Structure 1
Amino acid sequence: MSSDSLKLYSAIYVALLVAATLNFVLFEAEFLNFTYAQALGGTLVIATVKTLLIVAYFQHLRWENRSLTYVMSLALALTMLLMAAATYSIS
């Protein structure tokens, strides 16, 4: 592993660690006075950023052909549609 890639992966690891800490702070830090909806929204944004970092760098999709990225995006979109359909089908 080269020095540049070691620095990159270390920076991503630190970013993921900071994001996980922010998730905790959003719900547990009473001095910030976040409502539950604000904390949940912040957590969802942080989770999206964490997912993108993991997929792009640790699963190496950043260096793959764009067609593979499009297939993965399509799979994600279809999964979201199925989850939405399942949510509305429960009576």
Structure 2
Amino acid sequence: MAHDSVKLYSAIYVALLVAATLNFLLFESSFVEFTYAQAIIGTLVIATVKTLLIVAYFMHLRWENRSLTYLMGMALALTMLLMAAATYSIS
């Protein structure tokens, strides 16, 4: 059982490393040119995937009760709403 978790965590670590490398390549790549908007969208997608991996596995939310997962999701959604409101309220 412990051997499986080491393999799982190692695979997630490698996935996070690959995601960080892709994030770097979006802005610093000389062989493929991305527009600034493409790089920003790619960065946000990669950041979302990295966050989901970290929250699900390293923070053990994947094995918690669904009610706790929904509570965390609601907190995230409300945080995003507050950030959007703050962004549009600045004049």
The question of a shared fold, defined as TM-score above 0.5 by the shorter chain, is answered with yes
Equivalent pairs, count: 91
Shift of 1:30: 2.1
Letter in 2 for 1:51: T
Distance 1:41 1:31 in 2: 19
The answer for unaligned runs of 5 or more in structure 2 is none
CA–CA distance in structure 2, aligned partners of residues 77 and 40 of structure 1: 21
Q: Aligned equivalents of 1:59 and 1:49: distance in 2?
A: 14
CA offset digits 1:51-78 (Å, max 9, x no partner): 0000000000000000000000000000
Give the TM-score taking structure 1 as reference length: 0.98
| One-letter code aligned to 2:12 | I
| TM-score, normalised by the number of residues in structure 2 | 0.98
Q: CA RMSD in A?
A: 0.9
Deviations 1:13-35 (A, max 9, x none): 00000000000001000220110
2:57 alignment partner AA: Y
Identity percentage of aligned residues: 85
Unaligned runs of 5+ in 1: none
